[in-house]
């Protein structure tokens, strides 16, 4: 695998269209994703986000349009595209019978990597799962499974990772765990295309945001650029009360990234 022209976008999409019968899901989608950045495809349920990701990962064939991934043409070089990417879907695809470490070792062996144990240990450390590495994945919380799933997708060091609604169904603490993991991906040079329906997620993570609505990109840019599309805010001084999320994270934040002891939490006033 070669290609990846320096300076060229990691992902370039032009005029992408897809319909299921008479229902048009994508109606001419265009966007570019710079290398090493986090790009959020933001839209409500049914907007076409997952369809776009499935096309770009070669799981679906578009009706029209073209795209290049890591310098490879989606239509004529699908094998090279698949070698350049990794996909994490909306539900964690871990084997619950295996331990976290065994899941990682299995994928490393399937990809014919040298020292699969060392690969697994490195990823467990990167995703703060070392202490839980020898536990069966069935005992993991939703956030831990998500982190393990993303870690598995990184085996083989793909330059581009698709994350399709990675925090769906997670509580606030677990969502933030996954956010930190995604930020580490981009910091290491990996290009991340993230689909989400959560406004705060796109605001927190993305270098650039594209809003997909009724099968079309209606606006794209950085958060600052999108903010400037609206009239200037009127300055008012109000007393700001802490949000429920602020309260929740303050109360539980001293327990660390994950309580892996398995012991039930004490009720207020009990020891």
Establish if 25 belongs to a structural domain. no
Establish if 126 belongs to a structural domain. yes
pTM of the complete model: 0.78
pLDDT of residue 198: 87
Q: What's the structural domain count of the chain? A: 1
Residues of the domain holding 120: 36-50+81-228+243-249
Establish if 106 belongs to a structural domain. yes
Sort 81 into a burial class: Cβ within 10 Å, 0-12 / 13-18 / 19+.
buried
Q: Any idea what the CATH number is for the domain that residue 138 is in?
A: 3.40.50.300
pLDDT along the chain (271 residues), means of 10: 70 96 94 95 89 95 96 96 87 86 93 92 90 94 86 88 86 83 87 91 92 90 85 72 66 53 48 47
Establish if 69 belongs to a structural domain. no
pLDDT of residue 61: 95
pLDDT of residue 238: 72
Establish if 146 belongs to a structural domain. yes
Establish if 235 belongs to a structural domain. no
pLDDT of residue 243: 67
Establish if 18 belongs to a structural domain. no
pLDDT of residue 271: 47
Establish if 68 belongs to a structural domain. no
pLDDT of residue 57: 94
């Amino acid at each position: 695998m070669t290609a990846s022209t320096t300076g060229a976008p990691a992902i370039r999409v032009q005029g992408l269209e897809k319909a299921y019968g008479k229902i048009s899901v994508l109606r001419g989608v265009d966007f570019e994703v710079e290398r090493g950045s986090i790009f959020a495809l933001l839209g409500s349920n049914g907007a076409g986000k997952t369809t776009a990701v499935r096309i770009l990962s070669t799981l679906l064939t578009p009706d029209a349009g073209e795209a290049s991934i890591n310098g490879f043409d989606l239509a004529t070089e699908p094998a090279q595209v698949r070698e350049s990417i990794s996909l994490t879907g909306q539900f964690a695809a871990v084997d619950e019978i295996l331990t976290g470490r065994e899941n990682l070792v299995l994928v490393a062996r399937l990809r014919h990597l040298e020292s699969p144990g060392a690969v697994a240990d490195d990823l467990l450390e990167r995703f703060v799962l070392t202490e839980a590495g020898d536990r069966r994945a069935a005992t993991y919380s939703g956030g831990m499974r998500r982190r393990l799933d993303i870690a598995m997708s990184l085996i083989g060091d793909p330059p581009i990772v698709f994350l399709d609604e990675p925090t769906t169904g997670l509580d606030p603490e677990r969502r933030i765990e996954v956010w930190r993991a995604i930020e580490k991906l981009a910091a290491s040079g990996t290009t991340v295309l993230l689909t989400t329906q959560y406004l705060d997620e796109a605001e927190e993570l993305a270098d650039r945001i594209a809003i997909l609505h009724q099968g079309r990109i209606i606006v794209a840019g950085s958060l600052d650029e999108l903010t400037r599309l609206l009239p200037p805010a009127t300055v008012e001084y109000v007393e700001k009360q802490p949000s429920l999320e602020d309260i929740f994270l303050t109360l539980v934040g001293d327990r660390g990234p994950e309580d892996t002891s398995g012991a039930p939490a004490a009720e207020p006033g009990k020891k």
